[in-house]
Structure 1
Amino acid sequence: MPKSPLAPPASPPATGRRLIWLLGPALVAGVAYLDPGNVAANMTAGAAFGYLLVWVVVLGNLMAWLIQYLSAKLGIVTGQSLPQVLGDRIRSRWGRRAYWLQAELVAMATDVAEVIGGAVALNLLFGLPLLWGGVITGIVSMIVLTVQTRRGARAFESVVVTMLVVIVVGFCAGIIASPPDAAATLGGLVPRFEGTESVLLAASILGATVMPHAIYAHSSLVRDRFPLTAATATVGGVRERRLLRATRWDVTIALAIAGTVNLVMLLLAASSLAGVPGTDSLEGAYAALRDGLGPVIATLFAVGLLASGLASSSVGAYAGSEIMSGLLRIRVPLLARRAVTLIPALAILGAGIDPTLALVLSQVVLSFGIPFALIPLVWLTARREVLGDFRNRMLTTLGGVAASVFLVTLNIVLIWLTVTGG
């Protein structure tokens, strides 16, 4: 049987150069963990409570590892994305439509946060009006998506990973100029809260970390990168085991990068912005960094924010397209869909609504979508009829259930505290 050029060889293990070739999908999905919502949550937490919530960032990253691995495993073993699997299993047409509607709203909320983040960055760097910054962010994300549609998954990965490098440099530069207190950082690993506001910020950090569209996207990314066809199929699960072994490395590297950057943002705010007024907004954090650490560090931060908005917006649009095609079995051209989903973000910017308020509200909407993505993922990956011999072990399922309960509970707390004013 002839083999696809994308198929890995049937016998040698995925090591060395071949292992590197298999990496990539998790790095793209991991961009979702470094979007403007994360920046706002981590910077605000560090400025308001110092090192108190270090443990929340670490815990969120550990849970994210398990969740993203399960998403990738579903895509590799079934050859389908999570929305496709759910679309096949939800028999009711209205049930599929209802599920799609909540997932679509979540994808649009994600887009709002990412476009606003890019617009704020362009405003900080070049003084552009927020509306025009949003338009430019949307156009650039469409260009990136064109790479995916015309050049394929590998080229799309290369562009997004390049932006990821810019994000890492931009957000981590300040920590060199203002190193954190090592003892206080270690002390922050002890789980605790200090009042209602710290609970709200902890929920915001986790809500901005484990996001529904990253769960949907990862299964789609590995499906596109490693398509399951008659040409790529192997006997005895050899293909799946090789790809899952590489995926564990891929997810580990991606979440190590994302977790480190998120932690650095909180530590930078704790060491440089603690007690400084106005740091509960992206503009305020930029101004505080400029005044405290100099214009170079502040500019790098703004460049990182811009790359964050552009990269995460592209990945979010990719996820939204997959949600629609998987659940409704409707394939809308990616660029046309992208143009439509830009409207809410541009309307918010054009109406002059406070960008920070819009970011906060978008995180609340994202919180509604967590259970609908996370619970089905854990349930499906634990079932033999879905994954066969690759179904979750009992310990993995228990870990997924524990993470689901914890995240859903905290997101309910986030919604409650936001609605009631804490």
Structure 2
Amino acid sequence: MGPSWVAGAVAAGPATMASVVTAGAAFGYQLLWIVVLSAVLGALAQYLAMRLGLFTEGGIVSVVERHLGPSWAWILVVDAVLAASLAQLVIMKGLADVSAAATGIDARVWGVAWAVVLAAGLAGRGYRFVETAAKLLVSAVVLAFLASLLVVPIDPAAAASGLVPRIPAGVDGALVAAGVLGGAVHITLVTMHSYTMRSRGWTTADYGLATFDVGLSMLGAFGAFSVAIFLVAAGVLHDPTIAANELTAVAAAQTLGPLVGPHAKWLFLLGLWGAAVSTLGGNTVVPPFLVADKLGWETDIEDGRYRAALVAVALLSAAGAFVGGSFFPLLVLVLAFGLVGTPFVLVVVLYLLNSEAVPESNSTLANVGGVALLVVAVTTAGSFVREQIASGLADPTTLFVVAFSLFVGTATIALVGRYLRERFAGSGAAVEA
């Protein structure tokens, strides 16, 4: 196993923690069904990306360029690199803040130190370093949060009632639910999967193992991660008067101390630290993978250009520790960018999986699941963009988010239109014949 654990490491990060903690703290056990559904949809997204990677045996950017054209390939690169780069800075800020909270050493010192460690590890060992670290860290993080359940009181009956689908508190509940779902279905997770499988050397002969890899890492480990954090927050931190943006993941860890003892606090803080480390490592490889594939470089450290790109992304991420403001509100911007870009890459994957790019087209069931994923992604992205617009367009950052959403949204609609035209044209030619 391996490639899906890298995606799982990125998914099981601070952004997912923040949305799941908020869901449990603000609404109790009511949104447990959303947390479970997020793991299912996340696994489905990775399964579709896995099929594309195995059947084409190429990186997603080169496959798009071959079958859709260079313009679409560039749109994909810009979309994914912008989302991953912004996430890189905010995740580093989160990791530095958590490290500072645990040790008392200045967060900026931690940011520089983590960037150097990351660059040295990736330049020296490349993908295998990322995969090994992801397996170890994700396993440890899941165990940390499962262990925290042993020292936190949980109401089994109330938790079971949370498996009944419902959205509490109107718009606020819908936004939190959308954030939980968005953490599992993200553009970086989908785009990176074809490259990690190539780095692992998997082909169609490994289809069964690759499917098991997706199931265990995304459905199993990521699902356990999300459910354990949610149950801790719902069981101890639930306060019906709390606003959806008042509790951060770091504050949740610190709050657990006086409520249920220092063991729960340190287990939770350790889990948050591990989640930030694993996410940062996995996210670092995404921009170099995409850029190298588009420019015709090899996507392993034997190519000096690719290695230099890895080191550059790792070192530049240190700047995140110097970004002002609170870590949690910055996650909104990261989710906005990532989620806005996700529908486009889902359409790309579904388009290619139903074209001559693959020897075996998607089944009806896989297509239905893919369309459901697309609907979730569009709904989630729309919620965040509407929130940005509602805050006012005077802020340059908000204007940039809105402009980016218009660019990617237009590209998504155009690609859907192209597929429908080709599909109906093909059907018409077959009828005439």
Counterpart residue number, 1:386: 357
TM superposition shift of 1:342: 5.4
Q: Say if 1:46 and 1:274, in contact at 8 Å, map to a contact too.
A: yes
Counterpart residue number, 1:34: 12
Q: Say which of 276, 288, 291 aligns to 2:255.
A: 288
Please list, as runs of the form range in 1=range in 2, the aligned pairs for 1:186-265 lying within 5 A after superposition.
186-193=160-167, 194-226=169-201, 240=204, 242-255=205-218, 256-265=220-229
Give the whole-Å Cα distance in 2 for the aligned partners of 1:393 and 1:358. Answer: 39
Task: Verify: 1:78 aligned to 2:56, yes or no.
Answer: yes
Unaligned runs of 5+ in 1: 1-22, 229-239
Give the whole-Å Cα distance in 1 for the aligned partners of 2:2 and 2:310. Answer: 23
Counterpart residue number, 1:48: 26
Deviations 1:304-331 (A, max 9, x none): 2222122211111112211112234356
Deviates more, 1:327-336 or 1:360-369: 327-336
TM superposition shift of 1:252: 0.9
Deviations 1:59-98 (A, max 9, x none): 1111111110111121122111222212333424x54333
Q: Say if 2:10 and 2:279, in contact at 8 Å, map to a contact too.
A: yes
Deviations 1:386-410 (A, max 9, x none): 111x321122112111211222122
Give the whole-Å Cα distance in 2 for the aligned partners of 1:156 and 1:342. Answer: 13
Q: TM-score, normalised by structure 2?
A: 0.82
Q: Say if 1:279 and 1:288, in contact at 8 Å, map to a contact too.
A: no
Give the whole-Å Cα distance in 1 for the aligned partners of 2:334 and 2:229. Answer: 20
Give the whole-Å Cα distance in 2 for the aligned partners of 1:66 and 1:227. Answer: 19
Q: Say which of 140, 150, 168 aligns to 1:176.
A: 150
Query: SS at the partner of 1:352?
Result: coil
Aligned CA distance change for structure 1 residues 183 and 344 (closer, same or farther; 3 Å)? farther
Aligned CA distance change for structure 1 residues 363 and 166 (closer, same or farther; 3 Å)? same
Give the whole-Å Cα distance in 2 for the aligned partners of 1:303 and 1:190. Answer: 31
Aligned CA distance change for structure 1 residues 247 and 179 (closer, same or farther; 3 Å)? farther
Q: Say if 2:116 and 2:315, in contact at 8 Å, map to a contact too.
A: no
Q: Say which of 233, 238, 241 aligns to 1:269.
A: 233
TM superposition shift of 1:46: 0.7
RMSD of the TM alignment (CA)?
Answer: 2.3
* Percent identity for Structure 1 against Structure 2: 26
Query: SS at the partner of 1:177?
Result: coil
Give the whole-Å Cα distance in 2 for the aligned partners of 1:368 and 1:63. Answer: 17
TM superposition shift of 1:336: 3.5
Aligned CA distance change for structure 1 residues 285 and 338 (closer, same or farther; 3 Å)? farther
Counterpart residue number, 1:132: 109
Give the whole-Å Cα distance in 2 for the aligned partners of 1:169 and 1:297. Answer: 13
Give the whole-Å Cα distance in 2 for the aligned partners of 1:72 and 1:221. Answer: 10
Give the whole-Å Cα distance in 2 for the aligned partners of 1:172 and 1:419. Answer: 39
Give the whole-Å Cα distance in 2 for the aligned partners of 1:335 and 1:283. Answer: 34
Q: TM-score, normalised by structure 1?
A: 0.84
Q: Say if 2:61 and 2:73, in contact at 8 Å, map to a contact too.
A: no
Query: May I ask how many residue pairs the two structures share in their alignment?
Result: 382
Counterpart residue number, 2:333: 361
TM superposition shift of 1:289: 1.3
Query: SS at the partner of 1:387?
Result: coil
Give the whole-Å Cα distance in 1 for the aligned partners of 2:200 and 2:297. Answer: 21
* Matched AA of 1:166: A
Unaligned runs of 5+ in 2: 299-303, 393-433
